[in-house]
Chains A and B, each alone.
Chain A
Amino acid sequence: MISRRSFCKKSLLIAGGLAIPLSCLELFDPKRLLAEKDEKGARWVFLVDTRKCVGCGFCVKGCKVENEVPYDANVTRTWVERYVVTKDGKTHIDSPKGARDGFPNKGIDIGHGKLEEIKDEDIEKAFFVPKLCNQCDNPPCVQVCPVGATYQTADGVVLVDRKWCIGCGYCIMGCPYGVRFFHPVFHVAEKCNFCYHRITKGMQTACVDSCAFGARRVGNLRDPEDPVTKVIMTERVNVLKEEYGTKPQVFYLGLSKEVK
């Protein structure tokens, strides 16, 4: 039979023993977390005008070279999709090699090197839509990363820590926009990061610089004088897959219902 004195002693010992490792395991301080949240600085956003895009693919080429994404591998940080809606109500979509070489062909790439020819008079509407990482305000790729290799900076850009990524692929599965892929050389998750090394130096992204038609623009949402911010605030902009609640920060002008 255990005595009351010994029961109390042992209970205190166990409680005390458990408390020591718990205090050692403190990983973060919520107060520090709050203090570090400030609303100053930039919030980088992107504006795509689909009415201006001609599908030349210079943005894709520029991005691949600037960000060292292997040129001939079928992966790219940004790409351009072609939508051709015919009078019979069908939508034909292609993006051969992410439009790295543009669209120098009328035929729609249906895979295996085959092209589907569409007669000029059958076309109801046709346009190009550039796509890139949406740098979501609620990025699912960051939430699912088990090691903290994908994270969001204070200025809203989602970055991938190549040294820290274990290549599990959760982020690739988690992204509803399919903008992520494995880098064939570094073997880690890769994605557009708004050319973080350029925008933080006051430059434009490589795709914005290579676009001759003004279809792509990058801006700071926290600066009310920014021309991009003015457009987003005053014009009828749209985002992709709003229903997912990811709050994408790539805004589109002239988006059509066929675009997914």
Chain B
Amino acid sequence: MKSHVWRPLVVVLAVIALVLVAREVLVPADFGIGARGYMYGWHRAGNEQQWKDVKVKYKTAAFCKDCHPDKYDEMKESPHRNINCENCHGPALNHPDDPKSLTIDRSRELCARCHTRLPYPNSGRGVMKGIDPKTHNVGLDCVTCHWPHDPRKEGHKR
């Protein structure tokens, strides 16, 4: 091993060995080929489970129904029937264990998302009941006159 030809070869082999050892330490055991092959599925398999474990925040109206059947039934009979509770009440998160986590939005802006009149005949927006928020009872919350669970009923009394 004294030859000038062999010495660099030893260095090269040492570098390769070092890279392989470093790779063994740094790359997690589950890093490899997924179902979609090398081009699309080359990843850390454990990450799929990590994404599945993300906490669900919006629990849907079916979750609200168990404790608030009266509100649920009222909604189902109203023109607002397709709106999920959490669109206005905020995500259920840890509700009911943490009642304060609900963030109810009673603002005009929330109603204006759908009920600002826009003259768009080719989309569903054109046929929606709409007002001009610049002229329609400015300064008042919509829920003052319109009951949000069933807009045909009268709103909150002041």
Binding site for B on A (CB under 8 A): 17, 21, 24-25, 28, 32-33, 36-38, 50-58, 61-62, 65-66, 84, 101-106, 120, 123, 125-128, 139, 142-143, 148-154, 159, 161, 163-164, 193, 196-198, 200-201, 203-204, 206, 209-210, 212-215
Contact = CB atoms under 8 A, between A and B. Distances in A.
B122 A28 contact: no
A220 to B, nearest CB: 16
A103 B118 contact: yes
B54 interface: yes
Interface string B41-62: 1111001100111111110100
DSSP class of B's interface residues: helix, strand, loop or mixed?
Answer: mixed
B87 interface: yes
B58 A65 contact: yes
7 contacts: A36-B34, A52-B123, A105-B116, A126-B121, A151-B43, A152-B36, A209-B86
A210 to B, nearest CB: 5
B123 A54 contact: yes
Contact of A152 (B31, B40, B91, B116): B40
Contacts of A197: 51-56
Contact of A148 (B43, B83, B84): B43
Nearest to B12: A21
Interface stretch (B65-73, B107-115, B136-144, B145-153): B107-115
Contacts of A139: 40
Nearest to B120: A126
A143 B44 contact: no
Contact of B125 (A54, A66, A120, A204): A54
Given A62-B58, A66-B91, A101-B113, A54 B33 contact: no
Contacts of B16: 21, 24
Given A104-B116, A154-B35, A209-B60, A125 B122 contact: yes
B154 to A, nearest CB: 22
A209 B85 CA distance: 10
Given A161-B47, A198-B56, A210 B124 contact: no
Contacts of A206: 57-58
A104 B58 contact: no
